[in-house]
Amino acid sequence: MTSEQLHDEMVKAMKAKDKVRLSILRQVIGEVKNVEVNERRDATEQDVNQQIRRLIKQTGETLEMSIKAGTNQERTDTLTEQVKILESLLPEQVSGEALVALIEQTIAELGATSKKDMGRVMGALNSATGGNFDKPAAAREVGARLA
């Protein structure tokens, strides 16, 4: 997702008066702006996705604590909805047959033959997909293909 798309989503949330969505989108935009200011450059799509993943992790951890505390159900519901919204902003992960095909292609391109090459293959997959793939499944598949 690009910064412009993020801004458009925020405008839609404002018009729809969706306070939860608006709140979390503003948080993402703030994080993206921090990247732009700190690194003195425009944020790329990869930067935006990275900030969304970071917020998913933070919000998820807060959600776990809220569930453990069990004192405020409204807060828990809001956090659950925010995590779902954040996950919907990320592009769909590469998985299944598409992932297997990409793994086969990457192994062939790199000429990987042994388990020692697994790190290079995973790194190449990470670069090719922008980190947007099912990593545990990919690791199993790569491990099975490399002797």
- pLDDT-derived band at 93 (thresholds 50, 70, 90) equals confident
Task: Give the Cα separation of 99 and 138 in Å (integer).
Answer: 7
Query: What pLDDT is recorded for position 71?
Result: 86
Percentage with pLDDT > 70 across the chain: 99
Is 72 exposed, middle or buried (CB count within 10 Å of its CB: 0-12, 13-18, 19+)? Answer: exposed
What is the average pLDDT across 79-85? 95
**Does the pLDDT value for residue 147 go beyond 80?**
no
Query: What pLDDT is recorded for position 82?
Result: 95
**Does the pLDDT value for residue 79 go beyond 80?**
yes
Task: Give the Cα separation of 79 and 81 in Å (integer).
Answer: 5
Q: Which residues pair with 133 in a beta bridge?
A: 94
User: CATH topology for 3-89?
Assistant: Hypothetical Protein Yqey; Chain: A; domain1 (1.10.1510)
User: CATH topology for 96-145?
Assistant: Arc Repressor Mutant, subunit A (1.10.10)
**Does the pLDDT value for residue 29 go beyond 90?**
yes
Burial per residue of 126-136, b for 16 or more beta-carbon CB atoms within 10 angstroms, e otherwise: eeebeebbeee
What is the average pLDDT across 99-128? 90
**Does the pLDDT value for residue 135 go beyond 90?**
no
Domains of the chain, residue spans? 3-89, 96-145
Task: Give the Cα separation of 118 and 110 in Å (integer).
Answer: 10
DSSP-based helix, strand, coil % in the chain, nearest 5: 80, 0, 20
- State pTM to two decimals: 0.72
Mean pLDDT, the chain, integer: 91
Query: What pLDDT is recorded for position 145?
Result: 87
Percentage with pLDDT > 90 across the chain: 59
